[in-house]
Amino acid sequence: MRTMKKLFKLLFTFLFLALVVLLIVFAFKTFSFNSKQLASIEPIEKINLDAACTNRFVSSIQVPTLSYADRIDTLAFEQLDSLFQKNYPMLYARMYMRPINEFSHIYRWKGRDPSLLPILLIGHTDVVPIENEEAWEEKPFSGVQKDGYIWGRGTLDDKINVVGLLEAATLLMQEEFAPRRDVYFAFGHDEEVGGKNGAVAMAQFFKEQGIQFEFVLDEGLVVLKEALDGLEPPLAMIGIAEKGFANLQLSIDLEAGGHSSMPPANTAIGMLASAVAALSDEPFPSRIDGATQGLLEYAGPEMDFFKKVLFANLWATEGLIKNSLAKDATSAALVQTTTAPTIFNSGIKDNVLPSQASATINFRILPGETVASVRDRVEKVIDNPAVKIAVDENFSSNPSPVSSTSSFGFRVLQKTLQETYPETIIAPGLVIAATDSRQYAHVANDVYRFTPVCIARDDIGRIHGNNERISVDNYHDAIRFYKRLIENAAK
């Protein structure tokens, strides 16, 4: 009895000590979870931009440069091109411009020091079609200005970046700024339909010319208000990686279907439905690494105490955080390869068993996995040789590499953001949609994705959706951001 008591006492002391050690480690990790925001960066002043500057943006929105998969509205793209030449004469006089496949354009602003690697700032001039014009408060190509907003398709995606850069370069030229390194712009005209004639061709041109860039900046993440629970200031996220994507076609082709009055145990529809259900039941494993780990490391120290403790102690809390992120569709996309069954086809008549069934599953692939590894896992999970799996090569792309957060490019972006959006927290992040930037991976080690606009969560749906608009303040801030970025990168 006494030995039992002693044993319990010993066990209790041990547990107590273990708890104390655990608490000390938690506390140490939390208090050494230091801010990664740059110290002593002074905000820069606003620039006075006149109505003419706003009108130049409006006039570009009024040109309906819509992207279609099977044709190109040459008139609209020609119109936008002449509009730019009319609006930015100084830029066209001082920058060398080269059209690629007629409607995409590369601009080169020659630097003073040829030993420095150039930088490349990209955007796209095409916009997605309008699904339901009736649902728009203002006509999508009206460029109406109302309550401090400019309305129209392309205001956020992506004419803000293209016009923002043209305006910024013009302002710098008016100040007789001469860049130290070459500054390139590349504006594609078919990003929304895959970028084959634009970004792919332009990246190929740079490769053939042997041009490597210090860094590339494309559209991407934004400054988001109320981005994370427990983080007060808006969050400016610089996309350091982009998910890949793949469509897999699953199909069953039985020798015979049969009559529905004598159905066999395995029907084409039944087997394919089981395969799709198996994929939904076994989601891809969640991971916190790369860009999403970077996000937690940069945003974590700025969050409320409870969140800070959680994010400072990923060694113990990772499972918990992963599970809670994986539960919500928006955040799940950041920690796992997602599985979305998008098409299911089978059957022609209500009393005939079909011999064929097919389904399309759309995957968005987390960096670290590949189209091939996704296919392999799908095969394993379905575990039925009757289900044929084919990768749609026209709609598949591996995830991008993860760009550095200690590079010249990231530091310049971080400094510029702190100067121009002083009330925000800056962090790396993962882009879950596809941008043109993936085409440039072979001409730069570091590719970043950021659109300088400060918006709320609800506004994200306006991109590719109804009522796309941007505040005039946001437009002016974007010009200021690009002007400062070019100064910081090429001074």
By the criterion CB under 5 A, which residues form the site for Zn ion?
A: 157-158, 219
CB of 191 to Zn ion, least distance (A): 5
CB of 287 to Zn ion, least distance (A): 27
- Is 126 annotated in the active site? yes
Q: Which is nearer to Zn ion, 157 or 477 (CB)?
A: 157
CB of 87 to Zn ion, least distance (A): 21
Catalytic residue among 81, 126, 167, 446: 126
Q: Which is nearer to Zn ion, 218 or 369 (CB)?
A: 218
Whether the CB-CB separation of 339 and 363 falls below 8 Å is answered with: yes
CB of 162 to Zn ion, least distance (A): 10
Whether the CB-CB separation of 477 and 184 falls below 8 Å is answered with: no
Q: Which is nearer to Zn ion, 339 or 437 (CB)?
A: 437
- Is 191 annotated in the active site? yes
Q: Which is nearer to Zn ion, 192 or 419 (CB)?
A: 192
- How far is residue 483 CA from its own chain's centroid? 23
> Rounded distance, CA 315 to CA 96, Å?
52
CB of 103 to Zn ion, least distance (A): 16
State the DSSP string of 180-236. SS-EEEEEES-GGGT-TTTHHHHHHHHHHTT--BSEEEEEEEEEETT-STT--S-EE
CB of 450 to Zn ion, least distance (A): 12
Whether the CB-CB separation of 409 and 391 falls below 8 Å is answered with: no
Q: What angle do CA 23, 24, 27 make, to 5 degrees?
A: 85
Q: Which is nearer to Zn ion, 111 or 195 (CB)?
A: 195
Handedness of CA 216, 220, 224, 229 (dihedral sign): negative
Q: Comparing C-alpha atoms, which of 473, 491, 421, 422 is closest to residue 450?
A: 421
Catalytic residue among 182, 191, 318, 468: 191
> Rounded distance, CA 205 to CA 207, Å?
5
CB of 319 to Zn ion, least distance (A): 35
Q: Which is nearer to Zn ion, 199 or 472 (CB)?
A: 199
Within 8 A by CB and 6+ apart from 110, the residues are 96, 179, 182
Q: Which is nearer to Zn ion, 157 or 167 (CB)?
A: 157
Helices (H) and strands (E) in the chain, counts: 14, 15
Q: Give me the amino acid identity at 193.
A: V
CB of 152 to Zn ion, least distance (A): 14
227 is written with which tokens?
């981005």
Q: Which is nearer to Zn ion, 123 or 301 (CB)?
A: 123
CB of 212 to Zn ion, least distance (A): 25
User: Phi then psi for 90, rounded to 5 degrees?
Assistant: -65, -40
Whether the CB-CB separation of 282 and 312 falls below 8 Å is answered with: no
Q: Which is nearer to Zn ion, 103 or 311 (CB)?
A: 103
> Rounded distance, CA 169 to CA 489, Å?
13
Q: Catalytic residue numbers? A: 126, 191
